Amino acid sequence: MKSIVIYNSKRGSTEQYARWIAEDIKAEQCIALEHADFHALDQFDVVVFGGWIRGSGIVGLDKLKKSVPEIFSRLVIFGVGISRLTPENYMQIVDINLNTKDDRWNNVPLHVLPGRYDPSQVAGLDKFLMAVSKRVMISGRVSDKDQGAMEMKAAIEKGVDRMDRKAVEPVVKSVYKICGMSPVTDASDDSDVDEKDRNSGGEGSGQDGGGDPADTDAIMREMLSRHDQE
């Protein structure tokens, strides 16, 4: 299997996830979006793309879709954000990023991974968007009983770090599934991973995504099951 991981990272967490994925699938390349050669992607069996999430959109994905429109059959996507993942916001992310006139994009695996947000590192448009989100919550338009909203409000004010090395496992499984292969795991390798390395990185912006890795995988299966029954 010949693979490449392309990432669009602003403050580090998406890049960190990309490098973890590249390590696990033994990718030939792990490269930033701005340096990717779209004309050379034909040589790869699988292309993994990751970007940070802003307003439910995975930043940079449109560029890949427009440049290589036929890549859907060998593409795996992941987005990185800070909100707790629910079936509703997962489907919103899917709808915004994969809802095209070409129905073939509906089957592209899309994973949402938990990121990190540091208010002190945010500026410009990102800072404005987060401030708007906070004002909406403070204004009373969001119920105090909405745990997800309250967690988001706290994250905006104080920051949050949900980076998790194990969160890439569903992405890795999707890669191997495309190639009709089974992931090869080695428990001894996992024991050597430093705890600090497991939790390093940080994206610092984006309003969607997050949640526990197991939740992400379960939500994906639930949504696909619902889709199959419709």
**Domain coordinates in residue numbering, the chain:** 1-117+161-184, 119-158
DSSP string for the chain: --EEEEEE-SSSHHHHHHHHHHHHHT-SEEEEGGG--GGGGGG-SEEEEEEEEETTEETTHHHHHHH-TTGGGGEEEEEEESSPP-HHHHHHHHHHHH--S-GGGGGS-EEEEE-EE-GGG--HHHHHHHHHHHHHHHTTSS-TT-HHHHHHHHHHHH-EE---GGGGHHHHHHHHHHTT------HHHHHTS-HHHHT-------SS--S-HHHHHHHHHHHHHHHHH-
List, for residues 117-146, the tens digit of each pLDDT value: 777 676 665 655 666 555 655 555 555 556
Quickly state the pLDDT bin for 208 (edges 50, 70, 90): very low
Q: Which residue has the higher pLDDT, 202 or 100?
A: 100
Average pLDDT value for the chain: 78
pLDDT digits (tens, 9 = 90+) for 165-197: 999 999 999 999 998 887 765 433 443 434 333
pLDDT tens for 29-87 read 999 999 999 999 999 999 999 999 988 999 999 999 999 999 999 999 999 998 888 89
Q: How far apart are CA 223 and CA 217, in angstroms?
A: 10
Quick one: pLDDT band at residue 206, thresholds 50, 70, 90? very low
Higher pLDDT, 29 or 199: 29
Residue 148 above 90 pLDDT?
A: no
pLDDT exceeds 80 at position 18: yes
175/161 Cα distance (integer angstroms): 26
More confident position, 157 or 55: 55
Query: Which is more confident, 62 or 216?
Result: 62
* Mean pLDDT within 3-30: 97
User: Are residues 216 and 111 in contact, defined by beta-carbon separation less than 8 angstroms?
Assistant: yes
Q: What is the mean pLDDT of residues 13-27?
A: 98
Q: Full-prediction pTM beyond 0.85?
A: no
The CATH number of the domain covering residues in 1-117+161-184: 3.40.50.360
